[in-house]
Amino acid sequence: MSMSERFADSFAFENQGSSGATARPEPGQPQTNQPYVDLRNVSLVYGADDEQMLAIDRLDLQVRKGEFVAVVGPSGCGKSTLMKLVTGLLQPDGGAVFIQGEKTTGPVRSVGMAFQNSTLLPWRTTLSNVMLPFELVRPHRQRLRKHYDEYRERAIRLLEIVGLKEFANKYPWELSGGMQQRANVCRALIHEPPLLMLDEPFGALDAFTREELWLMTQDLWLKQRFSAILVTHDLREAVFLADRVVVLSKRPGRIILERTVDLPRPRTLQSTYEHGFSEIVTEIREKILEARA
């Protein structure tokens, strides 16, 4: 069994549906066509008075339930800002953000996040960082005390798969940057969120580990079909993982290309060197070069 399959398998016993205000619909509940994530005419301004800077300008973006969208664009164009808007960490100055039809007014609970800079809590060990969502997200937080060993096992299994088992009891400052990022991704995924937000989560990793994590993410997505938004500068990564790649202009971010990736899954690393794949990467690259000019 490959590393990625083991990773995906480690989630098999826990698919308990509801996890907060924006949880997956219960089985039997009517399915609607409403997008899982819906940004309508969203603008975001940083700063005040004459220091104001428009980071996002009237952006419309929808992500369907179970869809994997990658967002690419020049540095500083507003990608991380977009992620903070979707997760409710920032409120838009114009327009509105809806998650599963509900307008966001604050941090969205049912989201797994792994951002550019690892946000591990320095006073917690790696293991206890990875277990953090169990303390916060329903239904786990009610079950945690009674089923602590089961949850701990699950977190350790995940750490083992990404090569961090020996570091479970170390603190973040005792880990390398790449190890911190891996733990960060583990924490984003451990509670099987219906929406996964990844902001350059593999950026600090070497090429081989990064590709292993692509496979791992793909396997997991194929099993769980969560909705996902991935920000990356790596176009191979974007095309490998996504159903659709969205290209943003330079600041203020606007969508200048949406490219559907209709390549069959599971995608292989070999396929990233094949013609159909490279053709899509080239098209996106050309659009970004245009945007940077």
Ligand X SMILES: Nc1ncnc2c1ncn2[C@@H]1O[C@H](COP(=O)(O)OP(=O)(O)OP(=O)(O)O)[C@@H](O)[C@H]1O
* Among the listed residues 265, 284, 263, 285, the one whose alpha carbon sits nearest the alpha carbon of residue 274: 263
177 binding partner (options Mg ion, ligand X, none; Cβ < 5 to 8 Å by kind)? none
Distance CA 224, CA 227 (A): 9
Distance CA 37, CA 83 (A): 11
For residue 68, list its beta bridge partners.
Answer: 228
CB 107 within 8 A of CB 87: yes
Single residue of 22, 80, 180, 232 touching ligand X by CB under 6 A: 80
Tally Cβ neighbours within 10 Å of residue 126: 27
Least spacing, CB of residue 83 vs ligand X, in Å: 8
77 binding partner (options Mg ion, ligand X, none; Cβ < 5 to 8 Å by kind)? ligand X
* Cβ neighbours of residue 161 closer than 8 Å, sequence gap 6 or more: 3, 6, 7, 10, 216
Q: Which is nearer to Mg ion, 79 or 210 (CB)?
A: 79
Least spacing, CB of residue 249 vs Mg ion, in Å: 15
Least spacing, CB of residue 233 vs ligand X, in Å: 6
The residues of the shown chain that bind Mg ion, judged by CB under 5 A, are 79-80
Interaction between residue 201 and ligand X (CB under 6 A): no
266 binding partner (options Mg ion, ligand X, none; Cβ < 5 to 8 Å by kind)? none
Q: Which is nearer to ligand X, 8 or 204 (CB)?
A: 204
* Among the listed residues 165, 160, 170, 155, the one whose alpha carbon sits nearest the alpha carbon of residue 124: 170
Interaction between residue 78 and ligand X (CB under 6 A): yes
CA distances from 156 to 93, 136, 163 (A): 42, 19, 10
Binding mask 35-64 for ligand X (x = CB under 6 A): -----------xx-------x---------
Peptide bond into 92 cis (omega under 30): no
The one-character DSSP state at 191 is T
Q: Which is nearer to ligand X, 55 or 257 (CB)?
A: 55
Interaction between residue 251 and ligand X (CB under 6 A): yes
Single residue of 77, 185, 213, 247 touching ligand X by CB under 6 A: 77
Binding site for ligand X (CB under 6 A): 46-47, 55, 75-81, 116, 251
